[in-house]
Amino acid sequence: MYYPRVGSRVLIGGRLQLGDSPVEGYDLLSGRERETLDSFTEVVEDSLTETIYALFSGGRDSLVALHISKIISDRLRVRLTAIHVDTTISTLGNIEYVQRVCSELQVRLITLRPRYDFFTLVSKWGFPTVTRRWCCYHLKVEPLKTFFKSIDVSRALVIDGIRAEESWRRRNFPELGYHKHFRCLNYHPIFHWRKEDVLKYIMLHDLPDNPLYEKLPRVTECWCTAFKTVGQFTVLKREWPEFFRKFVEAEARLEKGGSALFRDGRRIYLKDL
């Protein structure tokens, strides 16, 4: 599989070109990066961290967080392990990309899976909705919770790619805090970064971009229906028809006319797309 490099650099009038969009101020990133590395170093040293666990979904934010974790790991000589949760409904090709990146960075990778796959749970509870969002806990959090419960986390630091600007809810997260499910410290190294900072970092460090971004605005390691749109499932039908068919078949098996999508008080059936 071809993995495009975002770091194919073209300078146009003092600006760094990313695809068709020039990125302003690329030379200012060094300050942001240096500040992040200094803060990360301080967190690791103050907490006496021995092992960094970087949650790597395959998206750009988590790619940057993983790469920064690798730099810190090498600098401070602490162990680094990447963790990917196979939700059982990841976009096809994403897991292979995660494996490829970890191999290139020479980072140990652990892949976790939920106890039951998505479609088994759908048959029991129906498709998740905004008000019944069971998918996040059972497909992502629970496998991680089980893993961290099985190891000594007294000197562990969990890293992710969460950024404050992604949502109003995430703006209220502490940059460094104690994770109630993992029962250890959780740190968001790029919490104050903007999307432009992430893109510039990937470019300047010549990191392999996930090819799924050529077809999707988000990599989507989980096709949970709670926040998906008709447009996104239309893309899924066009690009990955066999995968799309699994959702249609699961929809048909539901009793009482259940549908995969539910918006504004009405059911939206994937079979009609």
Most confident region among 43-57, 126-140, 258-272 by mean pLDDT:
43-57
**In the predicted model, is pLDDT for residue 210 greater than 90?**
yes
Q: Which of 220, 253, 241 lies closest to 89 in space, CA to CA? A: 220
pLDDT (tens digit per residue) in 36-78: 999 999 999 999 999 999 999 999 999 999 999 999 999 999 9
Q: Indicate the residue among 165, 182, 215 that finishes a domain.
A: 215
User: Is residue 179, in this structure, part of any structural domain at all?
Assistant: yes
Same domain? For 205 and 232 the reply is no
Same domain? For 179 and 67 the reply is yes
| 93: CB partners within 8 A, 6+ apart | 1, 211, 212
Residue ranges in the chain assigned as alpha helix (H): 29-46, 60-76, 94-105, 118-125, 134-135, 142-149, 168-171, 195-204, 230-239, 241-253
Banded model confidence at residue 19, pLDDT cuts 50, 70, 90: very low
Instruction: In whole angstroms, give the CA distance from residue 194 to residue 83.
Output: 24
**In the predicted model, is pLDDT for residue 13 greater than 80?**
no
Unique residue bearing structure tokens 């079979």: 271
Q: What is the pLDDT of residue 89?
A: 95
Same domain? For 185 and 263 the reply is no
**In the predicted model, is pLDDT for residue 145 greater than 90?**
yes
pLDDT (tens digit per residue) in 173-189: 889 999 999 999 999 99
Same domain? For 131 and 162 the reply is yes
Same domain? For 141 and 267 the reply is no
Q: Considering the entire predicted model, what is its pTM?
A: 0.87
Please give the tally of structural domains in the chain: 2
Same domain? For 248 and 146 the reply is no
**In the predicted model, is pLDDT for residue 3 greater than 80?**
no
Which of the two residues, 180 and 171, has the higher pLDDT score?
180
Same domain? For 72 and 125 the reply is yes
Same domain? For 205 and 235 the reply is no
Q: What CATH number corresponds to the domain at position 102?
A: 3.40.50.620
Same domain? For 167 and 84 the reply is yes
Same domain? For 171 and 257 the reply is no
Is the distance from CB of 207 to CB of 56 less than 8 angstroms? Answer: no
Q: Indicate the residue among 165, 181, 215 that finishes a domain.
A: 215
Same domain? For 93 and 143 the reply is yes
Range of the domain at 171: 11-215
User: Is residue 220, in this structure, part of any structural domain at all?
Assistant: no
